[in-house]
Amino acid sequence: MKVEPVTLEGRIVRVEPLRLEHAPDLLEVSREHPDLFAYMWSWDGVSGLRGLEESIARHLSLPDWCPFAIVLRESGRAIGSTSYLDIRPAHLGLEIGSTWIGRAYQGTPVNPENKYLLLRHAFETLGAIRVQLKTDGRNLHSQRAIAKLGAKLEGTLRNHMVLPDGHYRDAVMYSITHEEWPIVKAGLEARLGYVP
């Protein structure tokens, strides 16, 4: 399994390799909601264009990460970010995470399509046998969104991380296996109005 930057086209969004050039768009969709990154250790401390550019540069330098911008096809503007991370080629697994989307686009088909594109690529092109998703134990909104995708709750990793503010983060872990993917795929396609 070789994970490399790739562009994935959907009807609503395009998932493309994250670049510094995405920073102005991402700043615009994030500046209205300073709490957008409240549970996101990987985007901690983002403020202003320079902070966002530094965060993007940090994401691009992380080992075992492949970060993406979520681009609204209608406007061509970046409205969020997501990543493949914890990439484990020998075990045919990876995680989809560090995902954030501007508030105006939450609760719309943007996140389901974004996840659909990433999951389809992971299972059908990369040959993954497991894709995991995890979220902060306090982030109930994210937990509901992950469950709605069709991912199975595996449990909570207690005190999984120490965050920059000193908080001990519990990680709520979900996964989808390659055996489950056809059912999850059909559910997402129905939700998105795709005709297989």
C-alpha 84/C-alpha 137 separation (Å) is 20
pTM equals: 0.92
63: part of which helix (H) or strand (E)?
none
pLDDT for 45: 55
What counts of helices (H) and strands (E) characterise the chain? 5, 8
- Does 52 score more than 90 pLDDT? no
Chain segment 114-149, per-residue pLDDT in tens: 999 999 999 999 999 999 999 999 999 899 999 999
Mean pLDDT of the chain: 91
Q: What is the mean pLDDT of residues 61-76?
A: 94
- Does 38 score more than 70 pLDDT? no
pLDDT for 39: 59
Q: Which CATH class is domain 8-189?
A: alpha beta
pLDDT for 109: 95
Question: Which of 149-157's residues contact partners 24+ apart within 8 Å by CB, and which partners?
Answer: 149/112, 149/115, 149/119, 149/176, 149/184, 149/188, 150/176, 150/180, 150/183, 150/184, 150/187, 150/188, 151/175, 151/176, 151/184, 152/176, 152/180
The answer to whether the beta carbons of residues 81 and 99 sit under 8 Å apart is: yes
Classify residue 194 by its DSSP letter.
Answer: -
